[in-house]
Every structure is written in structure tokens, then in C-alpha cells.
Structure 1
Amino acid sequence: MAAGNHSLVTEFILAGLTQQPELQLPLFLLFLGIYVVTVVGNLGMITLIGLSSHLHTPMYYLLSSLSFIDLCHSTVITPKMLVNFVAEKNIISYPECMTQLYFFLVFAISECHMLTAMAYDRYVAICNPLLYNVTMSYQVCSWMVVGVYIMGLTGATAHTGCMLRVLFCKADIINHYFCDLVPLLELSCSSTYINKVVVLCLSAFNIFTPTLAILGSYVFIIASILRIRSTEGRSKAFSTCSSHISAVAVFFGSLAVMYLQPSSVSSEDQGKVPSLFYTIIVPMLNPLIYSLRNKDVKIALNKILEKRSFLCNLS
């Protein structure tokens, strides 16, 4: 991804979240704390699911995959952001910028489709429980996860390939805290028509289509839940879906604000706020949402803590 013949600019300057010096250290500490919680939460979720045999089900297999995506998604953005808070000049080279853009897109697009796969899992579990073990077999889940990553890699390759053909002449200050599509296109000194068409089409496909699929799943899920006679049964069914609905609302809402609003309305400064949600806040919140609102995860965590406490007492 070297600049070579593609661009006259060999490095960019990231404007970051704010230009006020007095806010740099507090923001560094805030986002360092968020990143630590993100890493611990997602690694903890992956480890907990791996160690707890009763969590070896399709639902938690997909959840562990989501945690892996969130961990990688945050790691692509946050460490460089933290360095920029304490560095004198927030420089990122052209190859580093294109690499960050590529992997950001891989995991952002993958998360869109992973949330869709999780919605389908809940649909099968509630609407067709008798066929659940057949429909959501280990082989099917594995192929779903592979498909999610293929979507992510394909979309990222298309976006980044189009970005590599764009020329950057003099403007080198990216008014953002990482290399994102829209702020980069604003710096171009060549035609970006093809890029904007690709951004609009793929953003619609990767945001609008999964959103419709998830909404459609939940229409059938809610209809099935309302047919359950017992209050306890309805409550249990709703509780298994509530955490997923929360994660979907925050993630897709912030993505839509960033990528699907008209260019006449969008502002790079305003775009930083929704970007914070889907790049930093959502990867931190997902393990918290799924652990705090899920009885099975709480039970598994308590068992592991009790087992560890028992072994410590023996020693």
C-alpha cells in the first residue's frame, strides 16, 4: 500500500478530537480507560465462553465472534488515537493510513453482518425451536462466521482499492481522529465520483440491508413471543433479545448518521461524534450489555469465580 505513483502526499496529519491542549491529558486518560475496559471485557467474554461448556451453543459461538470483532475493531483505532493525544504532531504515513482504513472497514462491515447473523439465530431459536439444532448446527454457524468475514474483506478491499486511485496533492490535514473514508475524500485533488458511488452503494448494502433483515427477524420474533401464554415464558424470550436489540440500535444508528446522511448536511466535526460510538463506545458496551443482561453469562462467571476461589483455598 505504498504511496508510490498514487499520491504526492506521503503523510497525513490527524486533527484529532480537539485542538485544546488542556483537554489532551483528560481525553487520553478517558480513552485509555475505555480501551482497557474494551480489551478486558471482550477477552473475558471470549475466555468465559471458551471455558464454560454450557455456553457452547450457536448463540454464544456467534457472541464470541462478535467479541473478537469488537476487540480488533477497537485496537485498529484506539492505540493510535492515544498516541496522538500525547504526541506533538499527530502524523500518520500514507501506507499506515491506508492500512488503518482497510482494517477498520474489515471489522466495521463484519460487525454489521455478525449482528444480522445473531438476529437470525434468535429468530430460529424463538420461532422454530424444534428445528434449532438442525438449522443452527455447528457447521452452519461456522459457515455463517466465514461469510461474515468474507463480506468484511470484500467491502474493505473495494473501498480501499478505490481510495488508492485518489490523488492527494497539498491538503494533508485529516479533520478526524483516524483515517476514515469521508474525511479522506474531502482532501482529494482528483475526481472522487466513483469513490462516492461505491461508498453510497456499499454503505447502503452493509447498513440498510442488515437493518432490514434484523427488523424483519424481530417482527416475526415479537409475533411469536406474543403468542406465548405464560408471562414467564414471554419475559424469558424478551430477555434473550433485549441485549441484542440494544447493541444493534447503538451501532447501526451511529453508522447511519455518519454514512447515509446527505453530504450537504454532513459535517466533519459532527461526524466525529457518531464515529466515537461505533469505533470506541460500542466495542466497550457490547460485552457489558451481554453480560449484565444475560443470566447464563452471569451463572458461568459465578461458577468460574467459585471454582477459582475453591482452588485458592485448597492451596
Structure 2
Amino acid sequence: MKKTLYLLAAVIPLMLFSCASTDVVPSDIQFTEIKGDDYLDTYMNQLIEKSNAYKIVDVYISQIDDVSKIETNPRADFYMEIAESPNGFRGRRVLANNFAKKMIETDPSWFERLKAVHNNERYNGHYTVYLYFKDIGNIMSGSEFIGVVHDIEGVPTYEKIDMDNETEKKARADKEEADAKAKAEADAAKDAKGKEIAQGYIYHGINEASENSTLFQGGALEKGHAYYIKGFTPAKYSPATVAVIMTLFGESNPVLVSYKDQKVKADVMNASSLWGEYLPVTVIVTADTVLPNRAVVLGIVE
């Protein structure tokens, strides 16, 4: 009788506080593929009803325990969080004890690399996480399932990170070079049109645009000279006779203007007006032969 009581005393606590089921063997699992968003959108009980293991594709790893936790105490629980964004919004914690121990032994830099690319969406957000469900409940609390990490794919090596950085750097340099070439070609085309409009005048082209703007605003244009002017904007309340230079920092003081002829005026108004407002355009101007502080618009470049 005493032996029976001792046996019950030993068994009952185990029944109360141990897991309700033993771990499954990962090698026996058939993983059901699911998108990360779908996994996070689905209630846990619905996931468990459908499958006991999942291959979750295109998911973020938002948080991870400090690896020293399990290095100093191999019996400690090691957690990660899979989520829909790097900051952990709408995420689920998963247990990763065995996986973490495996990586410590086989690929210890894995944890550093994971953190190094935490905010790089070239990698984070494209991980594939294999997990199975484990019941960590007991008789008192009932069944409580949690995902257990079996494997994670997609964390880059340092070599891949360096290679991708070099590729990105080269692509950025190539784009900058292509953009610069395209801009140079576009500027050359604009300048050629400006020269055509300025026939018969001494031409101050696109390379002098900054100085030209200063002369235009200061009423210092010379007769017999033609100037390439960027940011020319008809004034809202006197568009036919007044203009300003518009930049990212604001607009200049108003300048008196006239137009070579009605066609040039119509071209400028049509190109610059939008819903009652006026947008900047590029024009060629010269000094008025009658009024010293007035500019004459010879034509529009764009």
C-alpha cells in the first residue's frame, strides 16, 4: 500500500506539469506550404486542424533571443518571433531550442548574420521557416500548442551579403552614370534648341544658366545677347507682363516681361498654365530695346 502511494506521489506531479505529448520526430513530418501572411492570418486551432507542420514562405523574423542564453544554459527555452514586418507587427513566437543548439554547433555566425540583415528586406521577409506543433500544456492548464522551429532557409552568408552589396553598389553606379548621360543628352538637346531660338544674338546657354538667372532678376540683361533662363514662371495675377524665377526654395521678385510675338506668348502660357496656376518653364530671353528693366521672351525651350 505504501509503495502504491509513493508511486502515485511521484507520477501525479509529472502528469500535472509535464507536456501532454512528446515531441514528434521532424524527419517523419510532411510540411504543408503556406505563405507567411496566411499563416499569421489563420487562428492556431485552424492551422493545427489542417496540418501538424508547416513550411512558411516569405516571412519576417522580427525578434530572436540572445544566443548566450542557451550557450550558458542548454536547458533554457530559446524563442524567435516570425512576423509580417521587421518590427514584429502581427507576429507569433516560436520555440527554437534544438534549432539554436544545432546552429551554435554547425554555423555559429548564423545569429550575427540574421541580426545584421534585420532591416534589409532583400533578405528579411523572404525567409522560409519549417516548424511543427508541440503541445506544451498539462492536465491542469489543458492543451497549449506552440510552433517549434525545425529549420530556417534564406539567411545569407557573409560572402553573399558582400557580393550583394557589391552588386547593388555597381548597379547604383551604373544607374548614376546612365542618369548623368541621359541628363547630358537632354541638356545638349535643350541647348541646341536654345541656340536655334537665339539666332542673331550672342548666346549664353545652359552652362551659364545660374548667372543668366541672376542677370534676369537684376534687370542686367544686355541688348544683342540672348539668355537661357530656367524656372521662368508667369506671375499668377499678371501673366502677360510679369514673371518670376521659381525654384525649390521659392520665387524671385517679379520681373517685367514682354513676348517676341503672340505665338511665343501663347506657347509659354499653354506650357506653363495648369488649373489656374503657372508652372516653371525654360525660355530664351533678351533685353528689351526700349525699357531697360524689361526682358523679352524670344521662345520656349520646354
Point out which structure has higher relative CO (alpha carbons under 8 A, 6+ apart).
1
Larger Rg: 2
Higher-strand-fraction structure: 2
User: Could you say which structure has the higher helix fraction?
Assistant: 1
